C-alpha cells in the first residue's frame, strides 16, 4: 500500500495537483470506436478491439491517481439496434475482457460492479460478470463500474416502480419520498455521483447516460476517438476539472 501511495503522490506532483482537487468519480462515454476504424479503412469491430487498450490504460491510470470510482459506458440499451454480427463480437470482447483483466482487478485491489439490465446479455458474459463481482467483493480499492445494456431513462422508470411498490405495500409514505429516496433506488445506489463526465469523439450530448447522477458533473469533451484516448488525455481532463469553479448553483465566495 505504501507503494500505491507513493505512485499516486508522484503522479499528482507531476500534474501539479493535490488529492483534494481530484474528482471522486469519473464517468466516461467511450465514443468513436467505429468511426476510428472506418476512417482507417478497417471494419468497425477493429475499433472496438483497439478501444479495449484505451480501457486498460484509463483504468490503470485512474488507480494510480487514486480515483475512487470509474464508470465506463460500455453498451447502451439503444446499441441493440446495431448489426447482429457487431453485437456478437461486442459480447465476445466483453467476455474476453472480464477473463483477461480479472487478475489485474485483483492485483490492483479494485471492486468490480455493473449497472444496467441483464436481459440480452449472453450467458457467458453473465457468468464472467458474476465471477468477477464475487472475487472482487472484498477488495477495498477503486470501484470499476461498467454500464452494460444501460439506459438512464429505463433506470429511473425502474426506480419509480420500486418506490411505488413500497408505497403500495405500506413500507413508504408518499410524503417521505425525496431526492435521497430516488437515489437509493437507482442502479448506482451507494455510489458517489460523478464529478467529471468525459466524452470522446467530439459529440455534445449525454446519450441517456446517468441522467439523474450527473446533475452537477463537470463535462469534458475531446475530439479524439476512444481508441486514441490515453493517459495524457485523462490527465488533461482532470487538470481542467481542477481549475473549474464548482458553485453548485451558488455564488463564488469572496
Q: Which of 13, 20, 31, 149 is catalytic?
A: 31
CA 136 vs CA 16, 20, 104, 117, 194: distances in Å: 32, 27, 11, 21, 22
Q: Which of 20, 33, 79, 195 is catalytic?
A: 79
Let me know if 79 is a catalytic residue.
yes
Let me know if 64 is a catalytic residue.
no
Residues 25/197, Cβ–Cβ less than 8 Å: no
Phi, psi angles (nearest 5°) of residue 15: -90, -5
- Listing DSSP states for 143-160 in one string gives EEEEEEEE-HHHHHHHHH
Q: What is the DSSP letter of 77?
A: G
Give the Cα separation of 203 and 200 in Å (integer).
7
CA 231 to chain centroid, in Å, comes to 16
| Residues classed as catalytic | 31, 79
Amino acid at each position: 500500500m505504501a507503494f500505491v501511495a507513493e505512485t499516486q503522490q508522484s503522479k499528482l506532483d507531476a500534474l501539479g495537483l493535490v488529492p483534494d482537487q481530484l474528482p471522486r468519480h469519473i464517468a466516461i462515454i467511450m465514443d468513436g470506436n467505429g468511426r476510428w476504424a472506418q476512417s482507417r479503412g478497417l471494419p468497425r469491430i477493429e475499433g472496438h478491439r483497439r478501444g479495449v487498450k484505451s480501457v486498460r490504460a484509463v483504468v490503470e491510470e485512474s488507480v494510480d491517481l487514486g480515483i475512487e470510482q470509474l464508470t465506463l459506458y460500455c453498451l447502451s440499451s439503444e446499441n441493440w439496434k446495431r448489426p447482429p454480427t457487431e453485437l456478437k463480437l461486442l459480447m465476445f470482447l466483453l467476455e474476453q475482457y472480464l477473463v483477461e483483466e480479472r487478475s489485474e482487478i485483483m492485483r490492483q485491489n479494485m471492486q468490480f460492479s455493473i449497472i444496467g439490465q441483464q436481459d440480452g446479455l449472453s450467458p457467458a458474459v453473465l457468468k464472467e460478470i458474476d465471477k468477477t463481482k464475487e472475487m472482487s467483493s472484498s477488495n477495498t480499492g477503486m470501484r470499476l463500474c461498467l454500464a452494460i445494456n444501460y439506459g438512464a431513462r429505463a433506470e429511473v422508470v425502474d426506480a419509480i416502480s420500486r418506490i411505488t411498490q413500497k408505497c403500495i405495500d405500506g413500507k413508504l409514505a408518499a410524503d417521505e419520498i425525496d431526492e435521497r429516496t430516488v437515489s437509493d433506488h437507482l442502479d448506482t445506489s451507494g455510489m458517489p455521483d460523478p464529478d467529471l463526465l468525459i466524452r470522446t469523439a467530439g459529440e455534445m450530448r449525454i446519450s441517456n447516460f446517468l441522467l439523474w447522477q450527473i446533475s452537477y458533473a463537470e463535462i469534458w469533451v475531446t475530439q479524439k476517438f476512444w481508441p486514441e484516448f490515453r493517459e495524457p488525455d485523462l490527465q488533461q481532463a482532470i487538470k481542467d476539472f481542477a481549475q473549474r469553479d464548482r458553485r453548485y448553483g451558488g455564488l463564488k465566495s469572496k
